[in-house]
Amino acid sequence: MEDMMSGTDAPLSDERVDVEVHERETVYRGAVWDVVRESFHLPEAGGRLTRDVLAHTGAVAVAAIDDEDRILLIRQYRHPIRMRDWEIPAGLRDIDGEDPATAAARELGEEADVRAADWHTLADMYTTPGGSTEIIRIYLARGIDALPHAQRIEREGEERGIVVRWTPLAEAVDAVLAGRIGNATACLAILHADRARARGWTDLRPVDALWPGSRD
């Protein structure tokens, strides 16, 4: 059935839109991210709109799968939700000029003391598109081995309490579907990894796939 809104039955794909921004100011400057206020023209809205936007650096995350089809999960304390939740290794893109895949490999080593030989792009996620610029890219990492002790770092802050757990992928899927894991990035990674495994790890995107929204 033809799409009633767009008038096309083309494959589903998000559409980049270049709107005319009339004004932009930083209304709050934070330790990690800022809030900016933008006034812009959107044709279908019939005029100018103003929105406050959390200006985020973006982030990377890693679904590390070992030879036994187990996924690496980490548990750490997250103050905004007052919980120690199960996640996958992840971190901000906060080093100028650092390639996102390099950042992902760094985070995997820093948070879990492992490295990987085989990398692919697994999934991309706009965490809160109605209020934040944050985009998270999730990489699939295989060919796992321990990071040499000389390359390991001493964790600080909440990361000092990280617990690492290798979990059978099927068990992780069950935990997501039962609502026992609520971290959105971990949930997406687990379900994507399970689907990729069912396909025999074929049709994976390259590690250097275009960042979402990029033109080249």
Rg (CA), the chain: 19
Active site annotation includes 44 = no
Beta bridge partners of 36: 26, 53
Structure tokens at 15: 């559409």
Catalytic one of 23, 110, 158, 159: 159
Q: 140-179: buried (b, 16+ CB within 10 Å) or exposed (e) per residue?
A: bbbebeeeeeeeeeeeeeeeeebeeeebebeebbebbeee
Q: To 5 degrees, how large is the angle CA 10–CA 16–CA 22?
A: 145
- Report, as residue numbers or ranges, the catalytic residues: 159
